[in-house]
């Protein structure tokens, strides 16, 4: 159960100002808040979280406990780096009305976003991929539903600063957990 709650909170925090959230907000603002757009975004979040959890489940059986801790630290560093370095892109000049294309673009963004790295880290470190995947999906879906409802939240300066601050915290946490393992201090 703790994997579910941690993943839910991690996905909510990692979704602040995220690229997928910005795209959903941009498309919602350009096309109106179509329920089909929300459904497409929720489907993409569920699919990408399931993929991260599945990969985590595969890695649990392959990695020793010490290696799982190091892998989780690396995933935290990647999540933090993604949050600090990659921001939302400008709104597309001609946004597509194709829901299939929207799902594909969202999946492409989400496969390498901070929320999925955190789901992967939690799936591996807790050795409970199903709860971590479910929590990540619910947290991501909740965040996307919020920006679909209020698209202006993503484009604020406060969201950009919060995203970078959360990312820096993840970087520090990942380095703090991983460096002692790498240097052989554990």
Q: What is the pTM of this model?
A: 0.88
Structure tokens at 101: 């294309």
Integer Cα distance of 41 and 104 in angstroms: 10
Q: How many CB atoms lie within 10 A of CB 51?
A: 17
Least confident of 8-17, 34-43, 70-79, 85-94: 85-94
Segment 81-101 mean pLDDT: 79
pLDDT band at 95 (very low <50, low <70, confident <90, very high): low
pLDDT band at 42 (very low <50, low <70, confident <90, very high): very high
The residue that leads in pLDDT, 171 or 153, is 171
- Residue 121's Cβ-count burial label (10 Å; 0-12, 13-18, 19+) is buried
pLDDT tens column, 133-164: 999 999 999 999 999 998 888 878 888 899 99
Buried-state track 148-185, b at ≥16 Cβ within 10 A, e below 16: beebebbbeeebeeebbebbeebbeebbebbeebeeee
pLDDT for the residue 102? 86
* Helix, strand, coil share of the chain (percent; to 5): 80, 0, 20
pLDDT for the residue 1? 64
pLDDT at 30 over 70: yes
Q: Where do the domains of the chain lie? A: 2-182
User: What is the sign, positive or negative, of the torsion defined by CA atoms of 173, 176, 178, 179?
Assistant: positive
């Amino acid at each position: 159960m703790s994997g579910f709650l941690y993943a839910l909170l991690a996905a909510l925090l990692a979704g602040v100002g995220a690229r997928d959230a910005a795209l959903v907000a941009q498309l919602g603002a350009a096309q109106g808040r179509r329920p089909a757009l929300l459904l497409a975004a929720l489907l993409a979040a569920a699919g990408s979280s399931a993929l991260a959890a599945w990969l985590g489940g595969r890695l649990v059986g392959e990695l020793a406990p010490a290696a799982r801790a190091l892998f989780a630290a690396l995933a935290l560093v990647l999540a933090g780096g993604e949050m600090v370095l990659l921001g939302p892109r400008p709104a597309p000049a001609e946004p597509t009305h194709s829901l299939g294309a929207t799902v594909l673009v969202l999946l492409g963004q989400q496969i390498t976003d901070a929320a999925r790295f955190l789901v992967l880290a939690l799936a591996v470190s807790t050795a409970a991929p199903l709860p971590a995947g479910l929590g990540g999906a619910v947290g991501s879906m909740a965040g996307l539903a919020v920006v679909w409802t209020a698209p202006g939240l993503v484009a604020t300066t406060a969201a950009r600063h919060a995203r970078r601050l959360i990312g820096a915290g993840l970087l520090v946490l990942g380095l703090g957990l991983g460096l002692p393992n790498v240097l052989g201090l554990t």
